[in-house]
Chain A
Amino acid sequence: MAEAELDLLQNYLTVGAIVFMLGVVGLIARRNLIVMFLCAEMMLQGVSITLVAFSRFHNDWGGQMLVVFIIAVAACEAAIALALILMLYARAGKLDAAYWQEMREENVPPYIDREVPLERLEERRWPDLAPAGVAPEINEEEQSHRSHV
């Protein structure tokens, strides 16, 4: 009995730890504000799973009570955090957390993302067939339209 219970607990704890660490890694690695927020939520849920597992293991419902509170608090927090993210987006027009880095120390250089190479329109080559038969009628309008596809 106790052996089975302990195995079960270990499984739960493993899942909780994995969820938590996924959240941590996501929070550190990702720069999208919403994703970061989701990762934070995930860490919370990882902790919640652990709490529930221990609660069940010790036969003490306090842990589950706490998880219910956590869910309620997380809901409020989500409301506030999303509102904040919305405001930040309204200001910056982007969700990149690296955009908000003015609050660094004076002499620390700003973080500059690697530049994404620009698409060069004129070098774009479309597949073409060898000319044969009658030259198709070139539709100017379609031509211009296609080039912008």
Chain B
Amino acid sequence: MSDWTTIQKLLVAIPALPLVATMVTALLGPRYLRGKSHLPIVFGLVISCVLSLELLRQLNRAIENHETGIGYETTVDLWTWASVPEAYDGSGSRKTIGDSTGRLITDVHDASDSSGPFHIAVTLRADGLTCIMLAMVTLVALLIAIYAVGYMHQDRGCWRFFTYIGLFVFSMTMLVSASNFVLLYVFWEAVGLCSYLLIGFWYEKREAAAAGTKAFLVNRVGDFGFALALFFIWTVYGTLNFHDTQNAPGVLGQERLSSMQQEFGRPGESGEGHPRGAQDQDVRTGYVGGGIGLAICLLLMLGACGKSAQFPLHVWLPDAMEGPTPVSALIHAATMVTAGVYMVARCTPLFAVDCAPYLDPRAVVATIGGLSALIAGIIAMTQNDLKRVLAYSTISQLGYMFLALGTGSLVGIIAGMFHLFTHAFFKSLLFLGAGSVMHAMGGVIDMRKFGGLRRLMPMTFWTFLAGALALSGIWPLAGFFSKDAILAAAYDVGHGEAAYASLFLWLTYAAFLTAFLTALYTFRAFYMTFFGAEEIPAEAGHHARESRPIMTVPLVILALGALAVGWIFGQPGATKSGFAGVAASTPSLAVMVHPGYRALDTAAERKSAAERKSAAEKKSAAEKGSVAEKGLHQDSHRRVAIISLVLAVLGIGIAGFLYLGDAREVRAIIQWPVMKQLHRISYGKFFFDPVYWILVVLPGLALASICYAFDRWLIDGLVNTIGRIPSGIGRLFRNMQCGMLQTYALWMLLGVLTLLGSAVWHMW
């Protein structure tokens, strides 16, 4: 341990502290700490947060010092979890796949060295993506934990809450710093468990328990896909480490890339050169494409859809709002739901393969993202529950992130991660503001039941305003920069010459529409809550006042974040230590500017070709960093920025026109035939729940009741029948035991006579 570098020490300490704090709280909480259960967790998170920021600084310095190679990463091996020698039988298992599904693999190369060990090490890694996520997670978690001290102070299960929060932060930090798919999966499940426990935190409440179960079950669908993807990856590649893993700390260098290509097939060679490769292999990146590549990507995307609440599997997130509000802010807005985005970004090289003649996985990702963004935006328009509006808004913003990842360009992926980063600030701010309102209103969250709170709760009002403006994408708040970058990336692809250009063009229009809707529904909620006549529900009682400083201070800090992070990190001309520079230093992303990387749109390809040339000339990582920076804000994107800004302002204006005052116009508009139908669909949440009820739940229930009947009547009946035989025989002889001595003596006599009789009988 002593020979570890500072980065490695920090990397281990960041998850370790919340784990220790969790154990302390779990052991001492119920007996000794009780109302003070937050102390170990908050203490651990403070240190973790400071260490994360320090890690980011160290990483920055390391990136600057490493001039050569592609990207920067450091790994730290803790111990070996599992190691099975000769586990990977490449030829045999590959043949099976090819045979059973016919077209997935067209040709299998049999090679002598196709076997390999199954080696799972508990390895943590530090690279740009991880460090950004670590800093974001621990900072937001710290602020929300402090807020929760005030929010949960009356709850009996205080220690339970903080134990779960600590466990969650541990799992989440491990998730983002894990270095192979198995660890990722383990902590993927662990954060899902924490989510389940915290949604059902108030388990006496029926809805909360049901929502927890729903979240868990819907996530099972996604996790099933994720697990299948892992099996596929193992079968195809023979390793579950992230493919850019390098054991020695340092740089993913040219040698590593070439060895990777040697491993997975050298460009342009055929036959002997790529032992594990199929013909579908993308010769330029070394990753397997075709049907298998597409299957891996789609299954990974299914997992991401479950965790990040995207279009087919988004139904659990709005219900998850039954949990305590700090949980909604931390897990279901800022951190856990972004795990899917993180995972897809982490697997960028897998998604970048050429899957011809099948679909392009990135188009699928982008379509799901764009659809989710639009659908959730429409649903959020008519919800009356403040937290649910924010939940749908989260789905919508996550859809933006997937759209950005789906563009497949480095600029787009960095924009997606940047949106993830800024979204964490303003969405947790909005949720905490909603929690503050809910706390003051005695648990009432229906916006129709309160209003005009701006004088009553000035701090909440101003911070919520900051969050709402940031979410709407008003310059110069956080949301503007990240959303603009996403729109620009999508716009670029849409106006490029890629195969999916027209699709991306439509997705860009959908994203613009969503941007307008975002501003509209955010300010609808804002006006309904804080403007109009002051109205306080009866449940509020004496609570109806501004929250205590322990709750408002995190709000203010987050509001400052929502105001500033976009400006600070998203500015053009920032150094390579800015967000884009750090993110682009991640090896799996940095490899995209390397020759051999296939961009989706030809315009970006031309651009990256130019980058390549300049990179080749100057051979400096610094240059690459600033190229990535320039990519975020190009002059040609000013038009996109202006359109989105105008749309946002328009949305806010229309929301003000409609919802300030007595909302007469809204009632009038709803009477229009088209709007009436639209309102019905939106209010019914696109009828996902009833459709799933009929398609999934009812067959499940039917099957379950058949199984129940089978078990109850057939299996139990058989077992009980067999059980009844001895007791039936026993019942025959019971009547002999009548309690009369004489009868016993008579039976005894008869018994002796029978024995004697049989003895005599046998003698003859």
Contacts and interface: CB of A to CB of B under 8 A. Distances in A.
A29 B742 contact: yes
A98 B749 contact: no
Interface string B723-753: 0000000000011011111100110010000
Interface in B243-264: none
Nearest to A101: B739
A108 B737 contact: yes
Contacts of A62: none
A102 B749 contact: no
Contact of B741 (A24, A97, A108): A97
A29 B739 CA distance: 15
| Residue with the greatest number of chain B CB neighbours at <10 A, chosen from A28, A102, A111 | A28
Contact of B745 (A27, A103, A107): A27
Contacts, number: 40
Contact of A104 (B738, B745, B746, B749): B738
Interface in B696-742: 734-735, 737-742
Contacts of A102: 739
Given A24-B749, A28-B749, A104 B742 contact: no
Contacts of B749: 24, 28
Interface in B617-639: none
A56 to B, nearest CB: 25
A101 B746 contact: no
Nearest to A110: B739
> Which one of A36, A104, A111 has the greatest number of beta carbons of chain B within 10 Å?
A104
Nearest to B737: A105
A31 interface: yes
A98 to B, nearest CB: 6
Nearest to B749: A24
Measured as residues with beta carbon below 8 angstroms from the partner, the interface class of chain A is: 10 to 19
A28 B738 contact: no
A108 B735 contact: yes
Contact of A105 (B735, B741, B745, B746): B735
Contacts of B739: 100-104, 108, 110-111
A103 B735 CA distance: 12
Contacts of A28: 742, 745-746, 749
Interface in A24-64: 24, 27-29, 31, 36
B742 A31 contact: yes
> What does DSSP make chain A's interface, helix, strand, loop or mixed?
loop
Of listed A27, A31, A103, residue having the most chain B CB within 10 A? A27
A104 to B, nearest CB: 3
Contacts of A98: 740
Nearest to A103: B739
Nearest to A98: B740
A97 B738 contact: no
Contacts of B735: 105, 108
A101 B743 CA distance: 11
B742 A105 contact: no
A98 B740 CA distance: 6
A35 to B, nearest CB: 12
Contacts of A100: 739, 741
Contacts of B745: 27-28
Nearest to B752: A24
A97 B737 contact: no
Interface in A94-125: 97-98, 100-105, 107-108, 110-111
A100 B741 CA distance: 9
A107 B738 CA distance: 9
A101 B742 contact: no
Given A27-B745, A28-B745, A28-B746, A101 B734 contact: no
A18 to B, nearest CB: 16
Contact of B738 (A27, A29, A36, A101): A101
Interface in A60-104: 97-98, 100-104
A107 B731 CA distance: 10
A105 B740 contact: no
A101 B740 contact: yes
A26 B740 CA distance: 15
B734 A107 contact: yes
Contact of A108 (B734, B742, B746): B734
B740 A111 contact: yes
Contacts of A29: 742
A101 B740 CA distance: 6
Nearest to B734: A105
Contacts of B746: 28
Given A28-B746, A28-B749, A97 B740 contact: yes
Contacts of B737: 103-105, 108
Contacts of A105: 734-735, 737-738
A84 to B, nearest CB: 13
Interface string B474-498: 0000000000000000000000000
Contacts of A110: 739
Nearest to B741: A97
Residue of B734, B738, B739, B745 with most partner-chain A CB within 10 A: B739
Contacts of A36: 741
Nearest to A27: B745
Specify which of B734, B735, B741, B746 lies most central, judged by the most chain A CB atoms within 10 Å of its CB.
B741
A7 to B, nearest CB: 24
B756 to A, nearest CB: 13
A6 to B, nearest CB: 21
14 contacts: A29-B742, A31-B742, A97-B740, A97-B742, A100-B739, A102-B739, A103-B739, A104-B738, A107-B734, A108-B734, A108-B737, A110-B739, A111-B739, A111-B740
Given A100-B739, A101-B738, A104-B737, 11 more contacts: A24-B749, A27-B742, A28-B745, A28-B746, A36-B741, A101-B739, A105-B734, A110-B739, A111-B738, A111-B739, A111-B740
| List of 4 A-B pairs having minimum Cβ-Cβ separation, nearest first | A104-B739, A101-B739, A105-B737, A105-B734
Interface of B: 734-735, 737-742, 745-746, 749
Interface of A: 24, 27-29, 31, 36, 97-98, 100-105, 107-108, 110-111
